[in-house]
Amino acid sequence: MSGHRTTEAGSHDQRTWDHRWGFADTQFIVHPDGAVELTGDRYPLCGYRMYDFVPYVEEVLGIRLDLRDIKPERTPKPIPPPVRNEPFLAELSGSLREDQFSTGDRERLIHSHGQTTTDEVYRVLYEQLDRYADLVIYPESEADVVRGVELAARHHVCLVPFGGGTSVSCALSLPGNETRMIAVVDLRRMNRIEWIDRENLRACVQAGIRGMDLEEALRREGYTCGHEPDSIELSTLGGWIATNASGMKKNRYGNIEQIVEKVRLVTPAGVVEHLQSLPRVSMGIQPQCLAFGSEGNLGLITSAVIKIFPKPEVTRYGSLVFPSMEHGIRFLHELAHTGFVPASIRLVDNIQFRFGLALKAHTEGMAAFLDRLKKFFVTRIKGFDPDQMVAATIVMEGSRDEVEYQQENLYRLAGRFHGLAAGAEAGRRGYMLTYAIAYIRDFVAQYHIIGETFETSVPWSQIDRVCRAVQEKAAEQHRAFKLPGKFYVSYRITQIYHTGVCIYFMYGLYTKGVDRPAEVFGRIEHSLREVILANGGSISHHHGVGKLRKDFMGATLSPAAVELVRQIKQAVDPDNVFGIRNNIFAG
């Protein structure tokens, strides 16, 4: 299948799938006996047979899967010839080396989408996109970027910043009505740490560095950045800033806006930046804040000064089980207002908890016996109902004393809400499972199952209302569209704050026999977002708006605020060189 071809981005040597998620050595496969396996050895979930995977999917979706019935991928891909702006190309080739730009079909296709399930990945694999990149540029320095922006402005070329391509908000979907040549600017060759300031604990880093490479390089020097989104393997520093990203360890290190001290944004009007890097400053309106959440609309982020932290002495996983979601949420609420909040804590509902179990190795003999014993303890002795119980996974990080203090207090507090310690290994597996989610999405897609994740932030008081509203709406829509089987909705709480939480939903549908499945899926997802906002949730907690959530900006910003953002765009980019049209600029 052509979707199984792989590419090397910039100078990175870790090959990735062209259009699907992740690394080329990793994919879910199914064995003739029905067992599912994750290939390679990248994750703890790799290399063993999961016999409960397919039965779990069948149970939650109320279907029987025919594993021979694979949705055929569209090949060859329908890529039209590029729009060519010859004067621009002529000047560009005088400024860059030949290997710094490409009009090849493969490069163009890879840079024409992000990872949004239906509107991007599904359409690349099975249908077609509205618009394809005409050119891909690989700058290697800020001077290359400045020159590219200047040429694009002069020759009326549209530029689109591209980081890791992991956007899940259609922020990288190219506007179908763009008639200018679209040049996608892939920043991943700008991937160096320029300097480390050990005394003040900060580093200046080029924006195209991938999270994993940043973390590895810092760890070699004895530091960490602490920003760990689930996409850390492929997303970049510039992308994090442009989307207002959030990492799982934000309790200890902060969200991206707390980690970045200073940022450089190259716009057609010049470089927007603050001239000093300081811990905090009271200086009036802070123009560099415009880079956060800019979603490619204003310019190219080329570098940032970020906080760095000494590598933690100890990283310790943990896990807890609770009799119900309500118990777990009450525990989180109490925990959020204590002094022993761990770097990360996530609470998964019963459906996701059981999914975790379904991905375990098939157990036999003594291991099966021990598993049964554990189950007996949890379900009988403590009176937990296996269909209600939920789990929390925990990462504690810091000095040994700090971690001991957190662990002791956290488990004691959990006891007040009938929480039971479930071991470090379950915690570690829970986090590793996160890395497998998008591989699972791509695996099940070939069996006509469309799945997507979406997130929101809500005040503590609205958690229950929002979750119930999503369930009810999903059920109503399932009936209205007369869809086969059952809908899949599960959720987890991934971040806790003083005033509320981030809820991360997973939604799935079996679409065999459904007319225009991607469109149906999109409409239902839109209606779920509507009820989230109607019940007090936000447009997004960290995925951003892109084009997917553009319809909800009216419920997010006042008209005067929208106009202000328009004027800012007008000031820095009057000719709309950065014409990706996300957020309020989306059509």
Ligand X SMILES: Cc1cc2nc3c(=O)[nH]c(=O)nc-3n(C[C@H](O)[C@H](O)[C@H](O)COP(=O)(O)OP(=O)(O)OC[C@H]3O[C@@H](n4cnc5c(N)ncnc54)[C@H](O)[C@@H]3O)c2cc1C
Residues that bind ligand X (CB under 6 A): 21, 114-115, 160-168, 171-172, 187, 207, 229-231, 235-236, 238-240, 242-243, 245-246, 295-296, 300-301, 437-438, 542-544, 580, 582
Tell me if residue 89 falls in helix, strand or coil.
helix
Handedness of CA 421, 425, 428, 430 (dihedral sign): negative
CB of 423 to ligand X, least distance (A): 24
| Secondary structure E strands in 103-188 | 135-137, 158-162, 182-186
- Residues 310, 202: Cα–Cα separation, whole Å: 11
Distances (CA, A) of 368 to 51, 352, 375, 390, 425: 14, 21, 10, 21, 17
CB of 224 to ligand X, least distance (A): 16
Tokens of 194: 């320029």
CB of 534 to ligand X, least distance (A): 24
Nearer to ligand X, 297 or 319 (CB): 297
CB of 234 to ligand X, least distance (A): 6
Nearer to ligand X, 21 or 481 (CB): 21
CB of 577 to ligand X, least distance (A): 12
**Helix, strand, coil in percent for the chain, rounding step 5:** 40, 20, 40
Nearer to ligand X, 236 or 535 (CB): 236
- Residues 91, 69: Cα–Cα separation, whole Å: 51
User: CB-based contacts of 308: which residues, under 8 Å, 6+ apart?
Assistant: 196, 201, 202, 203, 218, 223, 224, 225
- Residues 468, 478: Cα–Cα separation, whole Å: 15
CB of 355 to ligand X, least distance (A): 16
CB of 117 to ligand X, least distance (A): 9
Catalytic residue among 253, 431, 504, 507: 504
CB of 164 to ligand X, least distance (A): 3
Tell the residue number behind the tokens 């199984």, with chain if given: 4
Distances (CA, A) of 189 to 10, 73, 140, 186, 417: 5, 31, 5, 8, 50
Tokens of 18: 């062209």
CB of 4 to ligand X, least distance (A): 18
Nearer to ligand X, 407 or 583 (CB): 583
Please report, to the nearest 10 degrees, the dihedral formed by the alpha carbons of residues 565, 585, 547, 239 taken in order.
Answer: -60
The angle subtended at Cα 168 by Cα 145 and Cα 571, nearest 5°, is: 40
Residue with smallest beta-carbon separation from ligand X: 239
CB of 399 to ligand X, least distance (A): 26
The 10 Å CB-count burial string (b at 16+, else e) for 165-194 is bbbbbbbbbbbeebebbbbbbbbbbbbbbe
310 within 8 A of 328, measured Cβ to Cβ: no
Number of Cβ atoms within 10 Å of the Cβ of 555: 11
Tokens of 578: 């950065």
- Residues 176, 580: Cα–Cα separation, whole Å: 10
Distances (CA, A) of 304 to 57, 147, 161: 43, 20, 16
CB of 206 to ligand X, least distance (A): 9
**504 given a catalytic annotation:** yes
- Whole-angstrom Cα Rg for the chain: 24
- Residues 132, 247: Cα–Cα separation, whole Å: 31
- Residues 478, 462: Cα–Cα separation, whole Å: 24
φ, ψ for residue 267, nearest 5 deg = -120, 170
37 within 8 A of 27, measured Cβ to Cβ: no
Tell the residue number behind the tokens 């060189």, with chain if given: 577
State the catalytic residues.
Answer: 504
